């Protein structure tokens, strides 16, 4: 499997007209394959393994917000990065998750080939599954290198996607509170 990926990267380099035997490139297929495996490591993780039982009883019902979680993913259309940040909010109903776990959930789904819309939804669904809250809100803001480096070359466009579940979907005041807090 590793060998196969290295061979593929060699072929790619050859196809763009590179001399794969020159010094700077000798180990590139190996390094590129390792990097690509790392960036797609989320396929080998599950919500269960990521949570690792870090779900705790708590009788608060106040909104929990985790803001500015860094996000690095690869678009499935061009295999180019999209990078940005993710904001997660939920309304606990007896259970909360460890703060770092929110970041780990984001990472697990980001390290798969993605479109931003699906990534956003998957994060929201995972929080819903993990703690069954009264509502979940996820907003992702990202810049896509496939937009910035090629094609239309829109260097400064930021794509924003959101997924609202439960009370964040049904109650405008709850949604507004969340959006105010993340934009502060």
Q: Can 44 be counted among the known catalytic residues? A: no
Does residue 159 interact with Zn ion by CB under 5 A?
Answer: no
Q: How far is the CB of 78 from Zn ion (least distance, A)?
A: 4
Contacts of Zn ion in 76-95 (CB under 5 A): 77-78
Q: Can 78 be counted among the known catalytic residues? A: yes
Candidates 124, 121, 127, 122; CA nearest to 101 is: 127
Q: Can 76 be counted among the known catalytic residues? A: yes
Nearest residue to Zn ion on Cβ basis: 146
Sketch the per residue contact string, 136 through 155, with Zn ion: x for CB under 5 A, - otherwise: ----------x---------
Please, are residues 71 and 47 in contact by the beta-carbon 8 Å criterion? no
Which segment (70-78, 119-127, 130-138, 153-161) binds Zn ion by CB under 5 A? 70-78
Q: Can 116 be counted among the known catalytic residues? A: yes
Please, are residues 52 and 46 in contact by the beta-carbon 8 Å criterion? no
Q: How far is the CB of 155 from Zn ion (least distance, A)?
A: 15
Q: How far is the CB of 75 from Zn ion (least distance, A)?
A: 3
Q: Can 87 be counted among the known catalytic residues? A: no
For the chain, what is the largest distance between any 2 Cα atoms, rounded to a whole number of angstroms?
A: 63
Q: How far is CA 91 from CA 77, 178, 182, in A?
A: 34, 10, 15
- Pairing relation of β-strands 55-57 and 95-97? antiparallel
Which of 69, 75, 130, 165 forms a contact with Zn ion (CB under 5 A)?
A: 75
Candidates 12, 11, 3, 13; CA nearest to 34 is: 3
Residue numbers annotated as active site: 75-78, 116, 144, 146
């Amino acid at each position: 499997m590793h060998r196969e990926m290295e061979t593929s990267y060699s072929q790619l380099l050859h196809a763009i007209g590179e001399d794969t035997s020159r010094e700077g490139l000798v180990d590139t297929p190996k390094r590129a394959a390792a990097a690509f495996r790392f960036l797609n490591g989320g396929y080998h993780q599950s919500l269960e393994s990521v949570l690792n039982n870090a779900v705790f009883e708590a009788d608060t019902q106040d909104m929990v917000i985790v803001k500015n979680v860094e996000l690095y993913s690869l678009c499935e259309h061009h295999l180019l990065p999209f990078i940005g940040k993710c904001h997660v909010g939920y309304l606990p109903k007896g259970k909360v998750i460890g703060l770092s776990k929110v970041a780990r959930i984001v990472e697990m789904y980001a390290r798969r080939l993605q479109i931003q819309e699906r990534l956003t939804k998957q994060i929201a669904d995972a929080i819903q599954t993990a703690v069954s809250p009264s509502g979940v809100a996820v907003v992702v803001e990202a810049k896509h290198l496939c937009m910035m480096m090629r094609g239309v070359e829109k260097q400064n466009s930021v794509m924003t996607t959101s997924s609202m579940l439960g009370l964040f979907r049904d109650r405008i005041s709850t949604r507004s509170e969340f959006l105010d807090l993340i934009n502060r």
